[in-house]
Structure 1
Amino acid sequence: MGVSHCYSSPILWAKTGSLHGYDIIDHSKLNPEIGSHEDFNELVDLINKNKMGIILDIVPNHMGICCKNKWWVDVLENGQASQYANFFDIDWKPIKKELSGKILVPVLHDHYGNLLANGEFKLNFYREKGKLKLLYFEHEFPINPSSYTMIMEHRINKLESALGYNHQNFLEYQSIITVFKNLPKTDETGFENTKERNREKEIAYKRLSELCKKNNSVAKFIEENLLDFRCHPDDILACRRVHEVLEDQAYRLAYWRVSSDIINYRRFFDVNALIGLRAENSSVFNETHSVILDLIEQKKIHGLRIDHPDGLLDPLSYFKNLQTEAGKRLGTNFDGSDEKHLSSEKLPFYVVAEKIVAPFEKLPQNWAIHGTIGYEFLNNVNNLFLDNKNSKKFSRIYHRFINKEIDFNELVIKCKKTIMRTALTSELSTLSNHLSQLSEKYYSARDYTLNSLREALTEIIACFPVYRTYISAEEKNNKDTDYIKWAVGLAKKRSMSTDPSIYDFIEKILLCEFETDKESEIYREILNFTMKFQQYTGPLMAKGLEDTSFYNYNRLICLNEVGGNPANFGISVNDFHNGNLNRLNATPHGLLATSTHDTKLSEDVRARICVLSEIPDIWQKKINKLSKINKSKKTKIDNSFIPDKNDEYLFYQVLIGIWTNEFSDNQKMGELTERIENYMIKAVREAKTHTSWININTQYENALCEFIRRVLNSPENHPFWKEFLSFHKDVTLRGFINSISQTTLKLTSPGVPDIYQGNELWKYNLVDPDNRNPVDFNKVQKLFKEIKPFLKRSNEDFSFLFPLESGKLKLFISSVLLNFRKKHPDLFKKGNYIPLEIKGAKSENLAAFARNFENETIITIVPRLVYHMISEEKPFPVGEEVWRDTKIILPDEYINLKLHDIFTGKSFTDFNKEIKIGSIINMLPISVLYSNSI
Structure 2
Amino acid sequence: MTRRTAVPTSTYRLHLTHAFTLHDAAALVPHLHAIGVDWVYASPIQEVPAGATHGYHVVDPDRVNPELGGEEGLAALRAAVDAHDMGLVLDIVPNHMAASPDNPWWADLLARGPASPHARTFDVDFDAGPLVLPVLGTSVEQAIADGDLRVEDGMLVHHELRLPLAPDTDIDAPVEQVLAQQHYALHEWQHGEQILNWRRFFAVNELAGLRVEEPQVFDAVHATILRWVDEGTVDGLRIDHIDGLRDPAGYLETLRDRIGEDRWLVVEKIVESGELLPPGWPVDGTTGYEVNAALQSWLTDPSGHQALRRAFAQQTGVPLGTRARLARSKLAAMDELFVAEVDRIVALLLPISGGRSEAMLRRGVRYLTAHLHGYRTYVGPEGEPSESDRSAIGAAARAADEAGAPEAVPVAGLLLGDEGRPALLRWQQLTGPAAAKGFEDRLLFRDVALSGLCEVGADAALLDAVWSPDTVTDFLTTRAVRSPLAGTTTSTHDTKRSEDVRARLTALAEVPDAFVDLFEAVSVGSAADAVDGHARWLLLQTVLATRDLEPGEDPAAHRERLVDSTRKALREAALHTTHRDPNEPYEDAVFAWLDTLLADGPASTQIDALVERIAVPAACTSLAQVLLKIAAPGVPDVYRGCETWDGSLTDPDNRRPLDVGRLEKLRDRAETLDPEELRDTWQDGAVKALVTQRALRARRDLSAVFLSTRCETPRVDGTAADHVAALRRTASTDGPLGVPEPGTLPSVVALATRLPLALADGGWPIGEVWDDTVVHVGDVGRVTDVLTDRSLPVVDGRVRLSDAFAILPVALLECM
- What's the TM-score once normalised by structure 2's chain length? 0.91
Aligned to 1:248: 181
| Pair 844,781 (structure 1): closer, same or farther in 2 beyond 3 Å | same
2:389 aligns with one of 467, 480, 489: 480
SS of equivalent residue, structure 1 residue 275: strand
* Long gaps (5+) in structure 2: 1-34, 732-741
1:511 aligns with one of 397, 403, 416: 416
SS of equivalent residue, structure 1 residue 548: helix
Alignment pair present for 1:461 and 2:347? no
| Pair 540,403 (structure 1): closer, same or farther in 2 beyond 3 Å | closer
Provide the C-alpha distance between the structure 2 equivalents of 1:60 and 1:766, rounded to a whole number of angstroms: 27
Contact 1:87 1:284 in 2 (8 A): yes
Aligned to 1:712: 598
| Pair 404,801 (structure 1): closer, same or farther in 2 beyond 3 Å | closer
Aligned to 1:756: 639
Q: CA deviation at 1:475?
A: 5.7
Alignment pair present for 1:103 and 2:131? yes
Aligned to 1:143: 165
Residues 246-395 of structure 1: matches in 2 within 5 Å? 246-327=179-260, 347-395=261-309
What letter matches 2:436 in structure 1?
A
Provide the C-alpha distance between the structure 2 equivalents of 1:776 and 1:377, rounded to a whole number of angstroms: 28
SS of equivalent residue, structure 1 residue 614: coil
Provide the C-alpha distance between the structure 1 equivalents of 2:624 and 2:305, rounded to a whole number of angstroms: 22
Provide the C-alpha distance between the structure 2 equivalents of 1:432 and 1:897, rounded to a whole number of angstroms: 68
Aligned to 1:204: none
Alignment pair present for 1:652 and 2:680? no
Q: CA deviation at 1:404?
A: 5.0
Aligned to 1:540: 434
Q: CA deviation at 1:250?
A: 0.6
Aligned to 1:745: 628
Contact 1:359 1:563 in 2 (8 A): no
CA displacement 1:96-141 (0-9 Å, x = unmatched)? xxxx2x101122232211111233233234xxxxxx3222222222
Q: CA deviation at 1:27?
A: 0.9
Deviates more, 1:82-91 or 1:466-475: 466-475
What letter matches 1:825 in structure 2?
S
| Pair 737,52 (structure 1): closer, same or farther in 2 beyond 3 Å | same
CA displacement 1:514-553 (0-9 Å, x = unmatched)? x4xxxxxxx3xx1111010000000110001010111111
Provide the C-alpha distance between the structure 2 equivalents of 1:712 and 1:504, rounded to a whole number of angstroms: 54
What letter matches 2:273 in structure 1?
P
Larger Rg: 1
Provide the C-alpha distance between the structure 2 equivalents of 1:569 and 1:742, rounded to a whole number of angstroms: 19
2:156 aligns with one of 125, 134, 143: 134
Q: CA deviation at 1:818?
A: 1.1
CA displacement 1:132-153 (0-9 Å, x = unmatched)? 3222222222222233xx35xx
Q: CA deviation at 1:593?
A: 0.6
1:901 aligns with one of 785, 807, 813: 785
Q: CA deviation at 1:438?
A: 2.1
CA displacement 1:53-83 (0-9 Å, x = unmatched)? 1110100000002223111111111111111
Contact 2:375 2:431 in 1 (8 A): yes
Provide the C-alpha distance between the structure 2 equivalents of 1:677 and 1:39, rounded to a whole number of angstroms: 35
Provide the C-alpha distance between the structure 2 equivalents of 1:842 and 1:25, rounded to a whole number of angstroms: 56
SS of equivalent residue, structure 1 residue 755: strand
Aligned to 1:828: 706
Aligned to 1:840: 718
Provide the C-alpha distance between the structure 2 equivalents of 1:493 and 1:26, rounded to a whole number of angstroms: 48
Q: CA deviation at 1:672?
A: 1.6
What letter matches 1:245 in structure 2?
V
Aligned to 2:86: 52
SS of equivalent residue, structure 1 residue 897: coil
What letter matches 1:532 in structure 2?
R
| Pair 539,141 (structure 1): closer, same or farther in 2 beyond 3 Å | same
1:494 aligns with one of 403, 409, 429: 403
Provide the C-alpha distance between the structure 1 equivalents of 2:554 and 2:431, rounded to a whole number of angstroms: 42
Provide the C-alpha distance between the structure 1 equivalents of 2:388 and 2:209, rounded to a whole number of angstroms: 27
Provide the C-alpha distance between the structure 2 equivalents of 1:19 and 1:720, rounded to a whole number of angstroms: 36
Provide the C-alpha distance between the structure 1 equivalents of 2:780 and 2:365, rounded to a whole number of angstroms: 63
2:359 aligns with one of 416, 440, 451: 451
Q: CA deviation at 1:801?
A: 4.3
Residues 848-927 of structure 1: matches in 2 within 5 Å? 848-853=726-731, 854=742, 855-856=744-745, 857-871=747-761, 875-879=763-767, 881-890=768-777, 894-908=778-792, 910-927=794-811
Aligned to 2:22: none
Provide the C-alpha distance between the structure 2 equivalents of 1:533 and 1:433, rounded to a whole number of angstroms: 12
Q: CA deviation at 1:751?
A: 0.6
Contact 1:386 1:569 in 2 (8 A): no
Contact 1:28 1:290 in 2 (8 A): yes
Provide the C-alpha distance between the structure 1 equivalents of 2:67 and 2:576, rounded to a whole number of angstroms: 39
Alignment pair present for 1:396 and 2:310? yes
Aligned to 1:673: 559
Aligned to 1:117: 145
Alignment pair present for 1:777 and 2:660? yes
Q: Which runs of 4+ in 1 moved over 6 A?
A: none
Aligned to 2:587: 701
Provide the C-alpha distance between the structure 2 equivalents of 1:708 and 1:437, rounded to a whole number of angstroms: 56
Q: CA deviation at 1:609?
A: 0.6
Alignment pair present for 1:598 and 2:626? no
What letter matches 1:575 in structure 2?
T
Provide the C-alpha distance between the structure 2 equivalents of 1:808 and 1:404, rounded to a whole number of angstroms: 40
Contact 1:633 1:711 in 2 (8 A): no
Contact 1:460 1:487 in 2 (8 A): yes
* Count, aligned residues: 767
| Pair 314,831 (structure 1): closer, same or farther in 2 beyond 3 Å | closer
Alignment pair present for 1:819 and 2:697? yes
CA displacement 1:245-302 (0-9 Å, x = unmatched)? 2111111112222232111110011111100000101011001101111110111111
Aligned to 1:10: 44
SS of equivalent residue, structure 2 residue 127: coil
Q: CA deviation at 1:912?
A: 1.4
Provide the C-alpha distance between the structure 1 equivalents of 2:250 and 2:549, rounded to a whole number of angstroms: 52
SS of equivalent residue, structure 1 residue 351: strand
What letter matches 1:291 in structure 2?
T
Aligned to 1:166: none
Provide the C-alpha distance between the structure 2 equivalents of 1:828 and 1:809, rounded to a whole number of angstroms: 23
